[in-house]
Amino acid sequence: MTKILAIESSCDETSAAVIENGTQQLSNVVASQIKSHMRFGGVVPEIASRHHVEQITQIVDTAMEEADCTWDMIDAIAVTQGPGLVGALLIGITAAKTLAFAHHKPLIPVNHMAGHIYANQLVQPMEFPLLSLVVSGGHTELVYMPADGEFEVIGETRDDAVGEAYDKIGRVLDLPYPGGKKIDEMAQEGEDVYDYPRAMITEENYDFSFSGLKSAVINHLHNAEQRGEQLEPQHIAASFQAAAVDVLVEKTLRALKEYPVKQLLVAGGVAANSGLRHDLKQRMATEAPDVALYFPPLSLCGDNAAMIGAAAYHLYGQKVYADLDLDAKPGLLL
Q: Does 167 bind ligand KG4 (CB under 6 A)?
A: yes
Q: Does 94 bind Zn ion (CB under 5 A)?
A: no
The entry of Zn ion, ligand KG4, none near residue 126 (CB within 5 to 8 angstroms by kind) is none
Any bridge partners for residue 265, and if so which?
A: 132, 294
Q: Does 92 bind ligand KG4 (CB under 6 A)?
A: no
The entry of ligand KG4, Zn ion, none near residue 12 (CB within 5 to 8 angstroms by kind) is none
Q: Does 233 bind ligand KG4 (CB under 6 A)?
A: no
Q: Is the backbone peptide bond immediately before 146 cis, with ω within 30 degrees of 0?
A: no
Q: Does 268 bind ligand KG4 (CB under 6 A)?
A: yes
Q: List, as one string, the DSSP characters of 244-280.
A: HHHHHHHHHHHHHHHS--SEEEEESGGGG-HHHHHHH
Q: Are 313 and 114 in contact (CB under 8 A)?
A: no
User: Shortest distance, CB of residue 303 to Zn ion, whole angstroms?
Assistant: 4
CA distances from 317 to 128, 234, 286 (A): 17, 49, 38
Any binding-site annotation on 273? yes
Q: Which amino acid is at 108?
A: I
- Window 130-159: contact mask with ligand KG4 (x via CB under 6 A): ------xxx---------------------
The rounded distance, in Å, linking the Cα atoms of 88 and 36 is 15
Q: Find the binder of Zn ion among 303, 307, 310, 313 (CB under 5 A).
A: 303
Q: Does 269 bind ligand KG4 (CB under 6 A)?
A: yes
Q: Does 273 bind ligand KG4 (CB under 6 A)?
A: yes
The entry of ligand KG4, Zn ion, none near residue 273 (CB within 5 to 8 angstroms by kind) is ligand KG4
The rounded distance, in Å, linking the Cα atoms of 139 and 155 is 11
Q: Does 181 bind ligand KG4 (CB under 6 A)?
A: yes
The rounded distance, in Å, linking the Cα atoms of 334 and 300 is 20
Any binding-site annotation on 266? no
The rounded distance, in Å, linking the Cα atoms of 8 and 109 is 11
Q: Which residues bind Zn ion (CB under 5 A)?
A: 136, 303
Binding site for ligand KG4 (CB under 6 A): 11, 136-138, 163, 166-167, 178-181, 184, 268-270, 272-273, 302-303
